[in-house]
Chain A
Amino acid sequence: MSVKYSRLKEIRAGLDPAIKEIRFTLKRIRKSPLSTAGIAIILFFALIAIFAEVIAPPVTRDPYMMWHDGYSSIPKPPGTPVLDPIAQKAGWTIHLLGTSEMQYDLLYGIIWGTRTAFRIGVLVEAIAVILGILIGSISGYYGGVIDEIMMRFTDVVLAFPGLILSMALVIALPRVWPMDFGFVLLLIALSVGPTIVGHFLKIQGRWVLVSTLVAVLLFIALYTWVLGTRIWTINMELSQLDKVLIALALIGWPGYCRVIRGETFRVKQEAYVEAAKAVGCSDLRIIARHILPNSIYPVIIMASLGIGGTVLTAAALSFLGIGAPAGYADWGQMISFARNWIWAGFQNPWQYWYTFTIPGIVIFFFVLGWNLLGDAFRDVLDPTLRRR
């Protein structure tokens, strides 16, 4: 039978088994009510984030800085009418959920805070996952000295309590950071270099390590002693939120690194990796094509749970005052504004309950949604429970 190689047919036919797998996954998710609940919650939040401009029309020029209705510092209860004429023109008539200190509208803050939450959560986890995968898979695949060095480095980061370290990092990161690009290149070279070099020179194993280590050492020597000055320095402007992102990502990656390393050890022993070596696959190809797809499941589950955790940590940082800048649409920010209003005297102490309860509940549901999703992933993707 003649073989017609049509790219389009390829793609469509190639999707079929993938589609079958996705359908199987979805069916299994649907069977568990908690998982469906998790997905529903996240979808709900996602819709709010996407349609934020429609649901809560922006009033100020930068929609992320919450508008405030006047300057009174006493929060107003839900139902108070909006006084600011600009806000009224934009479409606001009453404060549906009340206002917080400095008259920030709570509903606006919640809705735009959803966007911030997604941004922080997803970005931080993505960076942490990528870093973790890079270091973890290399460390796990080669073992030996490389593994020891990388693991000690990871241990250093893990030794600090996460929240404290992130606080320290946020405070220490300057507003304008002269990032030494050369150093970053060095780090990348150390971690990924051996595999890439080996792929192109078609060598595997020990020789790759030795040769690349030698090259890297030469580079360090050249850089530090011979040149002395910094080259490739880029001045990066960091907003407060960027600092939070970087700090949280830097404390998040060791967890993924350890998981991927453990999984890499397991997958390395499997027969199909040996079969791939017998065929002549370079280390890079084995890691990228064979080891990573088979070791990614725990990471997916961790990442889902981690998004919730990151949002919580960011909220904590905001509450402590070193997270998002004042007035930024961030749930943690909103709770930090309620700091003085949690207890309002002995008569009617919970008078201003809405200032902290409402953002708190929103955070709770957001994190719950991701946790349920993570559990759903775990149940569905557990290889022993699937039919494979």
Chain B
Amino acid sequence: MTEDILKVEDLHVNFYTYEGVVEALDGVDLNIKKGETLGIVGETGCGKSVTGLSVLVLVPPPGRIESGKVVFVEKGKPVEMLTQKETLLRRIRGRNISMVFQDPRSALNPVYTAGNQIVEVLLHHRIKELIKRAIDLLDKEIQSGKKGFLKKFYKNALQTLLQNPRSLRIAIMRRIPILNGYKRIVKEEAKKEAIEMLRLMKIPDPERVVDMYPHELSGGMAQRVVIAIALACNPDLLIADEPTTNLDVTVQLQILQLIRELKEKLSSTIAYITHDMGIVAEMCDRVAVMYAGSVVELGDVLEIFQNPLHPYTKALLESIPRPEQPFKSIGGIVPSLINPPKGCRFNDRCPYTMETCRKVKPKMVEIKKDHFVECFLYPKA
């Protein structure tokens, strides 16, 4: 049995807004197995984006993570994300867990070139590797006989930097114009790596694209750049928050294919957040269905589609438009999360509501192997 790479237990997140306290997440339980693609699906406002941000402990104020556990397994060791210090979290973000956002144009900084933004991530997380490469490059150049006074100097500096990052020599040299040329060499190495990343993203002519600004890129290209930034350090877990919603449908297909291929090549795990059941069916191995702040059903994708247990999942699947059939909708509207209904939050729209549903919130139970539901219709297994 594959082990979990991420486990979220009973996560509660509140947003303290002017109008009141929005109980965005009300006990989210889910787990992601290593190497799989988990789809997190739900309508607008169900809390799927907040869940993604909570994993990285990046919930913006006025939001606050109230309680719960988020356990991320880094190289075999479990790390409890919510209690970690910021320095450790910063090391994990971008390197072990990274995120792709919905709108590529706003995820990219408009005043830096695309290449610059990838280089920034590389320099932050893979600096040692890049320095080593720079040293090797300088070595080769010195040995090939080119005039090498400055190069020897730089190589020396880089080796010192590698062994003793806080050495006094480096601290002095850092600021002096010609002496700090070693920085340039490392940056060039980083840029080469960035070009390779862009090539991996199937961007044609990456040498040209690497110097382009985000506003010069089309939507699909910009999203590829964002994915390149996210995958630059080969993270173990990639959280993709509706990456194709704003793109045209043919470009969407290209991006989905790209994500599939990259997942194979880099053997990463993906948490794919979306509201489109079609994408879920295509991309995901397991699915978590969310409604109004909690996961109502969690299971294998075939199970969920062919044998949905929770009334909401059933209604969601039925509301997918099919030709020659009348449109089926779910009666009522999504409840406001400022004063959420007591008990199960689906109780005012559920066709099978019982008395208990209005009083107590159901717990997640495993009905079949690896198929969890939060509903009183199903007695505890």
A and B touching (Cβ–Cβ under 8 A):
yes
List residues of chain A with CB under 8 Å of any chain B CB: 385, 387
Interface SS majority for chain B: loop
Task: Write out the residue numbers on chain A whose beta carbons fall within 8 Å of the beta carbon of B355.
Answer: none
List residues of chain B with CB under 8 Å of any chain A CB: 18-19
A28 nearest in chain B by CB position: B18
Interface SS majority for chain A: loop
A69 CB to nearest B CB, Å: 56
A386 nearest in chain B by CB position: B18
Q: How far is the CA of A109 from the CA of B80 in the complex (A)?
A: 73
Task: Write out the residue numbers on chain A whose beta carbons fall within 8 Å of the beta carbon of B19.
Answer: 387
Q: How far is the CA of A385 from the CA of B19 in the complex (A)?
A: 11
B19 nearest in chain A by CB position: A387
B15 CB to nearest A CB, Å: 14
Q: How far is the CA of A385 from the CA of B18 in the complex (A)?
A: 9
A-B pairs with lowest CB-CB distance, top 3: A387-B19, A385-B18, A387-B18
Q: How far is the CA of A387 from the CA of B18 in the complex (A)?
A: 9
B20 CB to nearest A CB, Å: 11
A66 CB to nearest B CB, Å: 49
Q: How far is the CA of A281 from the CA of B18 in the complex (A)?
A: 37
Sample of 3 A–B contacts (CB below 8 Å)? A385-B18, A387-B18, A387-B19
A378 CB to nearest B CB, Å: 16
A366 CB to nearest B CB, Å: 32
Q: How far is the CA of A122 from the CA of B258 in the complex (A)?
A: 65
A31 nearest in chain B by CB position: B18
B336 CB to nearest A CB, Å: 12
Task: Write out the residue numbers on chain B whose beta carbons fall within 8 Å of the beta carbon of A387.
Answer: 18-19
Task: Write out the residue numbers on chain A whose beta carbons fall within 8 Å of the beta carbon of B18.
Answer: 385, 387
A25 CB to nearest B CB, Å: 14
A314 CB to nearest B CB, Å: 39
A300 CB to nearest B CB, Å: 21
Task: Write out the residue numbers on chain B whose beta carbons fall within 8 Å of the beta carbon of A385.
Answer: 18
Q: How far is the CA of A387 from the CA of B22 in the complex (A)?
A: 14
A385 nearest in chain B by CB position: B18
A380 CB to nearest B CB, Å: 12
A356 CB to nearest B CB, Å: 45
Q: How far is the CA of A385 from the CA of B17 in the complex (A)?
A: 11
Q: How far is the CA of A387 from the CA of B19 in the complex (A)?
A: 8
A24 CB to nearest B CB, Å: 11
A83 CB to nearest B CB, Å: 60
B17 CB to nearest A CB, Å: 10
A319 CB to nearest B CB, Å: 45
B17 nearest in chain A by CB position: A387
Q: How far is the CA of A25 from the CA of B18 in the complex (A)?
A: 14
A386 CB to nearest B CB, Å: 9
B266 CB to nearest A CB, Å: 41
B344 CB to nearest A CB, Å: 28
Q: How far is the CA of A69 from the CA of B19 in the complex (A)?
A: 60
B354 CB to nearest A CB, Å: 35
A383 CB to nearest B CB, Å: 14
A228 CB to nearest B CB, Å: 58
